[in-house]
Amino acid sequence: MGILEKFKLDGKSAFVTGGARGIGKSIATALLEAGADVALVDLDITEARKTAGELKGIGPRVIAIETDVTDQTQVERMVGEIVNAFGALNVAFCNAGICINAKADEMTFEQWRKVMSVNADSVFLCCQAAGRQMIRQGSGGSIINTASMSAHIVNFPQPQCAYNASKAAVIQLTKSLAVEWVDKNIRVNSISPGYIATDLIRQSPSLIPLIKEWEKQCPMHRLGQPEELQAISVYLASDSSLYTTGSDFVIDGAFTCV
């Protein structure tokens, strides 16, 4: 099999949480283009259905599933719906996440718990449900978690201790699951994006003043584009990465190098 053939996802099915917009939408697009059936999993089902409509025709099947990824029952139901629709689950991309920029001495415990619930608890729940299904199938699979360069550094000047801690947890969870499930032929990896110019970032009034500071701090002097996370995502989902597990891939324009 040639190298380009190894990158194809023909016959595989995947889900992407937070798939309605931003990074999730970009990754879902890439998986579809590579040949996979894809489920867009999102709490905002209206936007997810809109995105599914936009993506129809660029690959095989694409569906939208409304799911609160912090709810174990809903997550398990979501995996069941995907198996019913596609016949199997081969790739799980756990991408949903939020950030609350609050000073540690002013942050409420409710704010802390919300960030940890969405960014860490949901990744465990989705990994667990996907892993169980892949174990039942007996053919392995690939799980990819979205961490962040914030797991490696402390962002400045904005305060975001809960986000940083939650993303560090994602990386350690990824490594732990990779070791636990290596004998099941389930690979578990994470990606750690730097600042990515999603519509949410570019259109958020509170973040616009920070963008120039972030660009100044980055050696490339720009934010990344969602599309610049597609290649690594397809690599990790495909058979070209069969010996890659327990790894975290930083895609940040060298931000964490300085």
pLDDT at 206: 80
Query: What kind and span of H or E run contains 42?
Result: strand 37-42
CATH number reported for the structural domain that contains residue 170 in this entry: 3.40.50.720
Average pLDDT (108-116) is 98
Phi, psi of 17 (to 5 degrees): -80, 150
205 domain-assigned? yes
pLDDT at 142 (0 to 100): 98
DSSP state for residue 154 in the 8-state scheme: -
Give a yes or no: residue 1 inside a domain: no
What is the per-residue pLDDT for 24? 98
Inter-CA distances, 197 with 27, 127, 192, 226, 234, Å: 14, 27, 15, 7, 20
Percent of the chain past pLDDT 70, that is, above it, reads: 100
Domain with 153 in it: 6-252
49 falls within a domain: yes
Report pLDDT digits (tens) over 237-254.
999 999 999 999 999 999
Instruction: Give the pLDDT band of residue 79 (cuts 50, 70, 90).
Output: very high
Q: For residue 23, tell me if it sits in a domain.
A: yes
Q: Per residue in 27-36, pLDDT tens?
A: 999 999 999 9
pLDDT at 228 exceeding the cut of 90: yes
Q: What is the pLDDT of residues 34-48, one digit of tens each?
A: 999 999 999 999 999
Domain assignment present for residue 111? The answer is: yes
Residues 128-139 have a mean pLDDT of: 98
Question: Rounded distance, CA 147 to CA 172, Å?
Answer: 10
* pLDDT score for 213: 95
What average pLDDT does the segment 155-164 reach? 97
Question: Which residues are known to be catalytic?
Answer: 148, 163, 167
Residue 48 lies in a domain: yes
Average pLDDT, the chain: 97
Residue 37 domain flag: yes
Determine, yes or no, domain membership for 158.
yes
Give the pair of three-digit tokens for residue 142.
């690939």
Given a cut of 90, is residue 209 above it in pLDDT? no
Q: Reduced to 3 states, what is the DSSP secondary structure of residue 251?
A: strand
Locate tokens 């790739």: which residue? 91
| Count of structural domains, the chain | 1
When pLDDT is averaged across residues 151-171 and rounded to a whole number, the result is 97
